[in-house]
């Protein structure tokens, strides 16, 4: 019995050369274009002539040594930070680029932002929501340039509990464009980092403390932290694409915590508004329902029984007093049980529904907030522009247009934002398939006997497909099932143990189980053959 696409021949080739995806062509197939209409570009030129940065209404915070911290390739710098010690705690200034000043309802820029909904990011290529002259120029918080910003001014105690906060519309000046790798270097080896003598050094030291404090705060004990690895893409000089294992460092994770903090604070500020002219937008993410948690409980119980695993740490019970976050947190992150733990984390992720934007406040399960909004991506999401607009109107104490008009615009923004999220998901799946074709296409160019054997973990099982995440690079691949003797393609396999195991329908032979280490080779540029499977043995 063999696993793989029907009709595979031992000497077949799918490619003679590695695949180089054309990501711009892929974006165009999804209706995404990085070019903008002339009326939009005309408005940009007007703002370049009169940028409004010397607006007397802005609070002047240019004396604070803000810095931006982003990935090495990021050009639309939309967040900058500054932290300082205060008696009993930390004061955080978190500046977010003021795109809403330039992109107002009724303008061509706003109409185009509505049409796009968000920016879209593909490997080595992006389709911005706003023209690059704004998103990478006039609005971007570039170093050594005065910029408009919405600033969260937050005071926290020593345990990272917020004691007070305000929001101001300000003028800021970043002192440096830093990368996550540079800041991680400071965190790990400050003596050898050039940032150790930078004017923002004290701020960055506090940043390294605050991020973990926020992540471990008691208000976020039920936040699920999934074990997962990500793949990145490099473009070689010859134009070919290489897929590699990517990781997130402490600076990236800490910056994420500050973003979550401010989005949660902003949402609560909206929800507490006692005015009839503020029209908030919230991002909601429902908690998995009881039936989903019960199905996960059954799956885990079958795995524990079949593998004879100890109840601690492996058994999960919905009503056992241990929530899903705490259960996943106690699973091993290395050693013999790592693969099974990763597979269980993936199955837990499947429990989640999708987040969406709405006008009604509700909880966001994924980040552990009772209410959550989106202030932190105003150059990348039209919902961020609208939230900034509403925040500034609340600060001013009046709406800029009649309530019925604002409600209609909010409905358009919500629709555009949700459509963009759906499109990003579909685009992400296509990018994932392209990344698989890069790896498997190169492998399948060789004769079968010379194709690399790659190790991976069984992450999911159906009666016709085994889902595997390769170890390196950590991409998802599929192993379709077929019956070797007849070549008829009849599926003669069944999934048992509540989804935890695949076996032959007639022979009852176990083919593989969730969390098994498997060896695969490329059958083509879109699928693999499963060569062997070895049960994960956490007790060995």
Give residue-wise pLDDT tens across range 492-504.
789 999 999 999 8
Instruction: Return the number of other C-beta atoms located less than 10 Å from residue 212's C-beta.
Output: 14
Give residue-wise pLDDT tens across range 252-278.
999 999 999 999 999 999 999 888 899
pTM: 0.90
pLDDT of residue 10: 35
Architecture of the domain delimited by 447-534: Beta Barrel (2.40)
Q: Considering the chain, what is the average pLDDT of its residues? A: 90
pLDDT of residue 490: 56
Give residue-wise pLDDT tens across range 361-394.
999 998 989 999 999 999 999 999 999 999 999 9
Give residue-wise pLDDT tens across range 56-110.
999 999 999 999 999 988 999 999 999 999 998 999 999 999 999 999 999 999 9
Distance of CA 103 to the CA centre of its chain: 25
pLDDT of residue 486: 41
d(CA 310, CA 331): 12
Q: What is the DSSP string of 380-447?
A: TBHHHHHHHHHHHHHHHTS-SS-HHHHHHHHHHHHHHHHHHHHHHHHHHHHHHHHHHHHHHHHHHTS-
On the CB side of 495, CA atoms within 13 Å amount to 14
d(CA 265, CA 261): 6
Domain boundaries, the chain: 23-277+373-436, 447-534
Task: Spell 109-131 as b/e; 16+ CB within 10 A means b.
Answer: bbbbbbebbbbbbbbebbbbbbb
- Sorted by sequence, the CB contacts under 8 Å of residue 314 that are 6+ apart come out as 300, 303, 304, 331, 538
Give residue-wise pLDDT tens across range 123-141.
888 999 999 999 999 999 9
pLDDT of residue 536: 73
pLDDT of residue 378: 95
**Pair 420, 113: CB distance under 8 Å:** no
pLDDT-based confidence at residue 487 (cuts at 50, 70, 90):
very low
Based on C-alpha coordinates, what's the Rg of the chain? 26
pLDDT of residue 11: 36
On the CB side of 490, CA atoms within 13 Å amount to 7
């Amino acid at each position: 019995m063999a696993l793989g696409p029907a009709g595979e021949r031992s000497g077949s080739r799918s490619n003679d050369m590695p695949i180089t995806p054309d990501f711009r062509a892929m974006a165009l197939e999804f209706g995404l274009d990085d070019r903008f209409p002339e009326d939009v570009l005309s408005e940009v030129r007007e703002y370049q002539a009169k940028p409004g940065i010397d607006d007397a209404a802005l609070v002047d915070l240019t004396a604070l040594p803000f810095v931006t911290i982003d990935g090495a390739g990021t050009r639309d710098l939309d967040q900058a930070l500054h932290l300082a010690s205060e008696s009993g705690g930390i004061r955080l200034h978190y500046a977010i680029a003021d795109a809403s000043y330039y992109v107002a309802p009724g303008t061509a820029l706003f109409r185009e932002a509505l049409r796009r909904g968000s920016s879209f990011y593909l490997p080595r290529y992006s389709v911005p929501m706003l023209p690059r002259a704004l998103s990478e120029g006039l609005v971007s918080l570039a170093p050594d340039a005065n910029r408009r910003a919405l600033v969260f001014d937050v005071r926290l105690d020593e345990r990272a509990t917020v004691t007070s906060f305000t929001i101001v519309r300000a003028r800021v000046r970043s002192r440096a464009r830093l990368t996550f790798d540079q800041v991680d270097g400071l965190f790990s080896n400050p003596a050898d980092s050039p940032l150790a003598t930078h004017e923002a050094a004290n701020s960055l030291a506090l940043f390294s403390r605050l991020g973990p404090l926020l992540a471990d705060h008691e208000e976020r004990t039920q936040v699920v932290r999934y074990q997962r690895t990500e793949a990145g893409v490099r473009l070689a000089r010859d134009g070919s694409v290489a897929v590699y294992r990517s990781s997130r460092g402490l600076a990236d994770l800490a910056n994420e915590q500050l973003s979550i903090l401010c989005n949660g604070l902003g949402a609560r500020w909206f929800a507490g508004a006692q005015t009839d002219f503020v029209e908030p937008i919230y991002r909601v993410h429902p908690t998995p329902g009881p039936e989903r948690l019960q199905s996960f409980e059954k799956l885990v119980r079958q795995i524990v029984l079949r593998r004879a695993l100890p109840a601690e740490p492996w058994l999960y019970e919905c009503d056992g007093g241990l929530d899903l976050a705490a259960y996943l947190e106690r699973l091993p992150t290395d050693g013999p049980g790592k693969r099974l733990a990763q597979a269980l984390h993936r199955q837990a992720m499947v429990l989640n529904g999708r987040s969406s934007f709405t006008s009604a406040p509700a909880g966001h399960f994924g980040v552990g907030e009772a209410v959550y909004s989106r202030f932190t991506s105003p150059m990348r999401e039209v919902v961020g522009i609208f939230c900034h607009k509403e925040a500034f109107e609340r600060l001013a104490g009046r709406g800029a247009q009649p309530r019925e008009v604002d409600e209609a615009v909010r409905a358009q923004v919500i629709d555009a934002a949700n459509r963009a999220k759906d499109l990003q998901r579909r685009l992400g799946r296509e990018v994932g398939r392209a990344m698989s074709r890069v790896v498997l296409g190169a492998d399948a160019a060789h004769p079968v006997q010379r194709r690399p054997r790659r190790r991976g973990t069984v992450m999911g099982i159906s009666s016709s497909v085994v889902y595997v995440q390769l170890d390196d690079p950590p991409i998802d691949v599929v192993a379709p099932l077929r019956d070797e003797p007849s070549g008829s393609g009849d599926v003669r396999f069944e999934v048992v143990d509540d989804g935890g195991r695949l076996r032959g329908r007639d022979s009852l032979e176990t083919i593989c189980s969730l969390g098994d280490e498997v060896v695969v080779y490329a059958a083509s540029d879109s699928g693999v053959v499963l060569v062997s499977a070895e049960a994960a043995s956490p007790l060995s």
